[in-house]
């Protein structure tokens, strides 16, 4: 922000000098009786229009020129401009209608105005970023204005927007503030590094409503400042979801009031989480918490060892609570209630994966207490898988009361059970490697919505255990789409609407394998490739080399 402000006066001075030169050239040419043709801008920005960037006076009056008659707002003969070029952004805009004109650049002292008080956050943010003046709600029009508006398209996609660059002004409008915000991200990228927003109309909207980044802060502690930096990065790229996996065997990383005894020494305070949530909300990012259960609860078990699941020989099942105990359900529900209040977003991840009891070859024989509880709850045919599904449904009941939409890892759904998972549970499909994992089509054909976490493309696992190689942006960009849910094969296009989107995930299996700064560097290009495919699943128009060059230029 400060860099924009420092540069603005120098740009302004250069622009004043340009106007003087152009005015003098016009006067000399007209006096000589020579017609005016195309004037080059000389700004060297090949991504924007190549016509002259000189603006006309906003009041429609002529501007005096020494030694010549005054210059009209519309010169005669009229200057011509080449057709504008589509702005290059990440993700790419869906459509751009080119026009002839000077385009737009931010200049110090010019205004950001809004049509509605609801757009104040968006207006203030972009004004600060571009070195403009936030003027609030205004109905008048000035040369150089950036105007943000809510249109009357009540049934439109709330994440869609239109950006019109015309006559030295920019208007960004959409059915809701989210779309308007995304329009400001397009503008910010377009003028990055002194670029020009090209004349014309951008019409844009995402292909997928879920564009996520998930961070495992349970195994590896990340500072609040680092997470806030990622929120800013995600917002500029038009991601709309940040997942926080904050409870696992290695740690419980957010301050708790209901059960402070389970919290790790290194953790985020509630005040830090509040700041992250507020920053995310300003950028239209929903923070999605996850307390995984009934497995991955080692940090809770460390404070309550009596809850640990043990087999018939007394051997502890790592990270698993004994779901035949009412006390296990009580503590998990108390934690769910606490954090459902802390996180105001409408989404939640229940986890549900890798419960050790169901990874045994004969769960009923290995864990007789679970088999007994299953028969008591569901009759003589009740199984440990039934009992585990019932646990999941009960936790869903707890979270549902808080108005959340919930998802469960795909290996938290079990085939052949008499107890069925609640119908409103979405599938977070990550792998086909686990025992009992099923093909994506089995969930889709049953009518479930799905979020794509394909572990072959979207899993960044620290230390690269179990053949989890660090994904590359190029591989995602060239081979992955939201319909590539498992492995490299896409599911049938008829399921496209049920695939809500996808999420890139960073897991901390070996937390010291990379520093948090190395993680940020390692995921930079993969994040950009992922959001390109979630915004537009079709084959990109740029080659990977061109896309990478654009990503490097935009920062």
pLDDT, position 79: 66
CATH code: domain of residue 326: 3.20.20.80
End-of-domain residue from the set 183, 204, 225: 204
Q: Looking at the structure, do residues 134 and 264 belong to the same domain, yes or no?
A: no
Residue ending a domain, among 143, 169, 204, is 204
Q: Determine, yes or no, domain membership for 59.
A: no
Residue 358's nearest CA partner among 389, 329, 331 is 389
Q: Can you tell me the distance from the alpha carbon of 417 to that of 425, in angstroms, rounded to the nearest whole number?
A: 16
Neighbours of 26 (CB within 10 A): 19
Share of the chain above pLDDT 90, in %: 83
Residue 153's pLDDT band (cuts 50, 70, 90): confident
- Residue 265 shares a structural domain with residue 218: yes
Mean pLDDT of 359-382: 97
Place 437 in a pLDDT band, splitting at 50, 70 and 90: confident
Residues 415, 300, single domain; the answer is yes
- This prediction has a pTM of 0.85
Q: Does 54 reside within a domain?
A: no
Pair (284, 229) in one structural domain? yes
Residue 58 counted as domain residue:
no
- Stretch 404-428: mean pLDDT: 96
Q: Give the pLDDT confidence of 271-289 residue by residue, as tens digits.
A: 999 999 999 999 999 999 9
Return the SS3 of 349: strand
Q: 13-51: per-residue pLDDT in tens?
A: 333 333 333 333 333 333 333 332 333 333 333 333 333
> Cα–Cα distance between 359 and 126 in angstroms, integer?
51
What is the C-alpha to C-alpha distance for residues 203 and 115, in angstroms, rounded to an integer? 19
pLDDT average, residue stretch 120-139: 97
Q: How far apart, in whole angstroms, are the C-alpha atoms of residue 41 and residue 29?
A: 17
At 159-174, the pLDDT tens digits run 999 999 999 999 999 9
Which residue in the block uniquely carries the two structure tokens 């990383």? Answer: 253
What are the φ/ψ torsions at residue 387 (nearest 5 degrees)? Answer: -60, -40
The range of the structural domain enclosing residue 525 comes to 210-543
Decide if 232 is inside a domain.
Answer: yes
Summarised one tens digit per residue, pLDDT across range 183-216 is: 999 999 999 999 999 999 999 999 999 999 999 9
Separation between Cα atoms, residue 299 and residue 221, nearest integer Å? 14
- 512 shares a domain with 417: yes
User: Which whole number is the average pLDDT over 243-262?
Assistant: 98
The Cα–Cα gap between 37 and 217 comes to 60
Q: Which of 420, 324, 308 is nearest to 372 (CA)?
A: 324
Residue 437 lies in a domain: yes
Query: Which range (3-17, 88-102, 408-422, 527-541) has the least confidence?
Result: 3-17
Residues 109, 133 contacting (CB under 8 angstroms): yes
Are 170 and 224 contained in the same domain?
no
Domain end: 148, 171, 204, which one?
204
Residue 65's pLDDT is: 36
Answer yes or no: is 187 within a domain: yes
Mean pLDDT of 55-68: 35
Residue 145 banded pLDDT, cuts 50, 70, 90: very high
3-class SS of residue 297: coil
Q: What is the band of 432 on the pLDDT scale with cuts at 50, 70, 90?
A: confident
Same domain membership, residue 250 and residue 194: no
- Per the model's pLDDT, the better-predicted residue between 40 and 529 turns out to be 529
Residue 120 sits in a domain whose CATH number is 3.30.379.10
Cα 426 from Cα 418, distance rounded (Å): 19
Q: Do strands 111-114 and 146-150 pair parallel, antiparallel, or not at all (unpaired)?
A: parallel
What average pLDDT does the structure give for the chain?
Answer: 88
Question: What single DSSP character describes residue 45?
Answer: -
Does the residue 419 lie in any domain? yes
Same domain flag for 199 and 263:
no
Least confident of 61-65, 232-236, 291-295, 462-466: 61-65
User: What is the separation of C-alpha 198 from the centre of its chain, rounded to a whole number of angstroms?
Assistant: 26
Q: pLDDT band at 434, cuts 50/70/90? A: confident
Dihedral over Cα of 370, 372, 373, 375: its sign: positive
- Is the residue at 304 inside a domain? yes
Shared-domain flag, residues 416 and 463: yes
367 and 345 in a common domain: yes
Same domain, 214 and 195: no
Count of domains observed in the chain = 2
Q: At what angle do helices 120-130 and 177-190 cross, to 10 degrees?
A: 10
Find all residues with CB under 8 Å of 552, minimum gap 6, and list them. Answer: none
Q: Do 151 and 170 fall into the same domain? A: yes
Give the separation between CA 484 and CA 477, rounded to whole angstroms: 12
The set of catalytic residues is: 354
């Amino acid at each position: 922000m400060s860099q924009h402000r420092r540069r603005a006066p120098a740009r302004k001075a250069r622009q004043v000098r340009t106007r003087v030169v152009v005015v003098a050239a016009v006067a000399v040419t007209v006096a000589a009786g020579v017609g005016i043709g195309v004037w080059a801008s000389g700004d060297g920005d090949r991504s924007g229009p190549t016509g002259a960037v000189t603006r006309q006076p906003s009041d429609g009056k002529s501007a005096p020129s020494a030694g010549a008659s005054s210059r009209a707002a519309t010169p005669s003969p009229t200057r011509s401009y080449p057709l504008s070029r589509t702005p290059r952004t990440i993700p790419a805009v869906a459509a751009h209608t080119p026009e002839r004109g000077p385009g737009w650049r931010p200049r110090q002292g010019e205004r950001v105005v809004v049509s509605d008080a609801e757009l104040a956050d968006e207006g203030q943010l972009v004004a600060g970023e571009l070195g403009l003046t936030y003027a609030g709600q205004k109905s008048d029009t000035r040369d150089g204005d950036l105007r943000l508006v809510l249109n009357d398209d009540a049934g439109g996609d709330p994440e869609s927007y239109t950006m019109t660059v015309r006559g030295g002004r920019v208007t960004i409008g959409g059915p809701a503030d989210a779309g308007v915000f995304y329009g400001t991200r397009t503008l910010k990228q377009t003028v990055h590094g002194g670029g020009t927003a090209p004349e014309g109309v951008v019409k844009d909207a995402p292909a997928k409503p879920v564009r996520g980044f998930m961070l495992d802060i349970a195994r590896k502690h990340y500072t609040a400042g680092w997470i806030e930096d990622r929120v800013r990065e995600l917002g500029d790229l038009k991601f709309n979801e940040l997942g926080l996996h904050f409870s696992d065997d290695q740690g419980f990383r957010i301050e708790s009031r209901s059960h402070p005894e389970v919290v790790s020494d290194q953790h985020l305070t509630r005040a830090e989480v509040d700041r992250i949530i507020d920053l995310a909300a300003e950028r239209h990012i929903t923070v999605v918490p996850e307390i995984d259960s009934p497995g991955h609860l080692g940090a809770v078990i460390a404070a309550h060892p009596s809850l640990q699941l043990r087999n018939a020989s007394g051997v502890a099942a790592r990270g698993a609570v004994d779901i035949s105990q009412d006390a296990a359900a009580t503590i998990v529900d108390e934690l769910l209630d606490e954090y459902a209040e802390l996180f105001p977003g409408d989404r939640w991840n229940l986890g549900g994966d890798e419960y050790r009891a169901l990874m045994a070859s004969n769960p009923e024989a290995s864990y007789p207490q679970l088999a007994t509880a299953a028969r008591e709850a569901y009759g003589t045919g009740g199984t440990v898988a039934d009992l585990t599904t019932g646990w999941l449904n009960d936790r869903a009941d707890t979270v549902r009361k808080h108005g959340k939409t919930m998802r469960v890892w795909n290996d938290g759904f079990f085939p052949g059970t008499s107890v069925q998972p609640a119908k409103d549970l979405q599938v977070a499909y990550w792998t086909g490697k686990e025992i009992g994992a099923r093909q994506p089509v089995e969930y889709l054909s049953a009518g479930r919505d799905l979020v794509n976490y394909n572990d072959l493309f979207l899993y960044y696992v620290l230390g690269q255990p179990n053949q989890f190689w660090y994904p590359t942006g190029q591989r995602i960009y060239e081979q992955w789409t939201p319909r590539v849910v498992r492995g490299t094969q896409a599911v049938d296009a008829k399921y496209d609407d049920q695939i809500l989107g996808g999420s890139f995930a960073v897991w901390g299996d070996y937390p010291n394998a990379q520093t948090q700064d190395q993680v940020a560097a390692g995921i930079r290009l993969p994040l950009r490739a992922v959001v390109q495919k979630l915004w537009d699943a079709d084959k990109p128009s740029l080659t990977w080399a061109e896309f990478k060059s654009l990503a490097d230029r935009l920062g």
